[in-house]
Amino acid sequence: MTGDSARMNSKIVVFDGVCVLCSRWMQFVFRRDRDKQFRFAAMQSERGRQLMLQHGMNPEDPMSLLLLEGERAYTDTEAIIRVLRSLGGAWKMRSFAIRIVPRFVRDPLYRRVARHRYQIFGKRETCFIPTTEVADRFLS
């Protein structure tokens, strides 16, 4: 797929643009997304904020990233698993390894890290700014 049809069918990852861990996760994804199936929005941007609110999430106090695939929305470890699976290869195999852990165990662990992400990994003063090579994959 190329052009507008590819963009309409792309998956959107809404992430915390000032969180060091979240920004690194997003960079990890776009470096491995050879098919350019993912687009990105920082939850601090107008579009990211709008998407968070549309899916019942508070962009002022986010406890998860948000993955949108068509009409479906995913958060917590399910979002991570689906992203890894979409990257294919060894990452797809890793997604199966994560899925082995029951969701009632893995999601509370995810939320605990999310709740303390700034203290553990740090917080940027300003939102992540994409390089020119990937800027077209970010929603404004």
User: How confident is the model over 97-135, as pLDDT tens digits?
Assistant: 999 999 999 999 999 999 999 999 999 988 888 888 888
pTM for this one?
A: 0.88
Does residue 63 sit in helix, strand or coil? coil
CA–CA separation, 47 vs 39, rounded Å? 12
37-92: pLDDT as tens digits: 999 999 999 999 999 999 999 998 888 999 999 989 999 999 999 999 999 999 99
How much is the pLDDT for 3?
44
